[in-house]
Homo-oligomer: A and B are copies of this chain.
Amino acid sequence: MFSKETYIGRRKVLMQKLQGRGIVLLPGNSEAPINYHANTYRFRQDSTFLYYFGLPISDLVGIIDTDTGEATLFGDDFTVEDIIWMGPQPRVVELAEQVGVKHTAPLAKLEPAIAEAVARGREIHILRPYRGDTRLMLEKIVPDAFLAPSEMLIQAVVAQRDKKSAEEIAEIEKACAIGHEMHLTAMKMCHPRAQEREIAGAIEVIALMKGWGTSFHSIVSQHGETLHNHSYNGILKEGRMLLVDAGAESVSNYCSDFTRTTPVSGKFTTKQKEIYDIVLAANNHAFSVSAPEIRYVDVHLAAARIIVEGLKELGLVKGDVEKAVSAGTHALFMPHGLGHQMGLDVHDMENLGEQYVGYDAETPRSKHPSCSACRMGRRLEAGMVVTVEPGIYFVPELIAKWRTESTCAEFVNFAAVEKYLDFGGIRLEDDMLITETGNRLLGKRLPITTEEVEAAILPS
């Protein structure tokens, strides 16, 4: 948590943007049941609630009155029965004080407060709920007329949350330090016959011990071609590569997100190194061109050009590079975008809608095959944090589909590509802060050249 002045300041900015437009209603999360009501997952507060109200505690709701400039925190104090089970807890007034909120009320007063505001002709602004329990709560207390997410509120929140302050960057760097340790640990353990499950456990415990936990379900797989592989059932085999895509949240829930790809046998084969070095060049190139005013979709396309050029040299792609990129040839090998914003969410603000977070009126979402998978396309601004995560994968099902449908057939040498069907995939991901003058890497750089990665593996 930051100081109360931080939260007071953030709410003030939001109020000014929506001045005179009524009530902003920001529900915190409740506990998320696993297999029955009382057995819950590790509590994670909603990120927008955290941003404006800071408290990592369940069953709180914040409202901001844009006319009066006042915020109210709704929540219930613990009973003696609660204290027996959960220990003593600060009262709601004490919690509110920690984040500079002067008014509090029990949760039972929320519904009448909303009803009264509506009766007085005021608007209610909410965001899109992503949990069923939040949706049920909102459906109960918010009149139908205001149940759709408020575009005005979304745009105001995105405009604030997408520029990170110095204290937020410091938190992200704490998360990067934890992520760094996680990846070095995974590299050390990358040996034939090691279990993916063991490595996943070893890196998850670092995130648990040093921060809130992982920022998303770690990907620890020798099948890197499956982009979000959540299975840990593999046993590492000589000759394959282990792709680890993992990050941590700091205790205050700011995120990191890195990917490295490590050879199980300790050394990359020539075939692996050739592909690896193309991905690395794309990663480095993205850092060399990212700066304020540059559209991130153009950085994506610049990285795509490096990938297509490299694959052309290897004979997997043919024809004119510019035309191949324009046709979206790279999407066979990298069927995802170059990166996404990162902050209190590892895909920052993803629940607010990609059209507001990754795109805007000037740079709308494109369906063009060259960039249709991009989560982030709009102009970079100083203070933004984005991931840079180019990759090259050989997905047998996708290759078969393109071949059958003759997609980009004039640019893809399918016969050559099909020699890579058991290759797997390589992704190299770092986190980047956009500065006034360009950008900088967040955290200390993880081993990334083939030599550095090979040196990071402990002798088995």
Contacts and interface: CB of A to CB of B under 8 A. Distances in A.
A35 B205 contact: no
Contact of A35 (B47, B202, B206, B401): B47
Contacts of A33: 130-131
A229 B35 contact: no
Given A135-B132, A208-B200, A84 B39 contact: no
A350 B44 CA distance: 23
A424 to B, nearest CB: 12
B226 A87 contact: yes
A131 B35 CA distance: 9
Contact of A39 (B40, B43, B226, B346): B346
Contacts of A133: 131-132
Contacts of A39: 216-217, 345-347, 350
Interface in A194-208: 195, 197-198, 200-202, 204-206, 208
Nearest to A137: B132
A273 to B, nearest CB: 25
Interface residues of A, number: 60
A124 to B, nearest CB: 20
Interface in A60-101: 80, 83-88
Nearest to A132: B132
Contact of A345 (B35, B46, B131): B35
Contacts of A85: 226-228
A231 interface: yes
Given A86-B228, A197-B209, A130 B36 contact: yes
Given A84-B395, A227-B85, A44 B34 contact: yes
A398 B223 contact: no
Contact of A229 (B86, B200, B217, B228): B86
A39 B228 CA distance: 11
B36 A350 contact: yes
A156 interface: no
B201 A335 contact: no
A83 B206 CA distance: 30
A312 to B, nearest CB: 23
Nearest to A351: B36
Nearest to A395: B84
A137 B46 CA distance: 23
A240 to B, nearest CB: 15
Given A205-B205, A228-B85, A32 B38 contact: no
Interface string A164-198: 00000000000000000000000000000001011
A430 to B, nearest CB: 20
Contacts of A135: 132, 136
Which of A46, A84, A223, A227 has most chain B Cβ within 10 Å? Answer: A84
B345 A397 contact: no
B41 A130 contact: no
A450 interface: no
B226 A86 contact: yes
Contacts of A401: 80
A84 B206 CA distance: 29
23 contacts: A33-B131, A34-B44, A35-B344, A36-B130, A36-B345, A37-B351, A38-B347, A39-B345, A43-B230, A83-B395, A83-B397, A83-B398, A84-B226, A84-B395, A84-B397, A86-B230, A87-B223, A87-B226, A132-B132, A132-B136, A135-B136, A201-B208, A204-B205
Which 4 residue pairs are nearest across A and B when measured between Cβ atoms? A132-B132, A132-B133, A87-B226, A205-B205
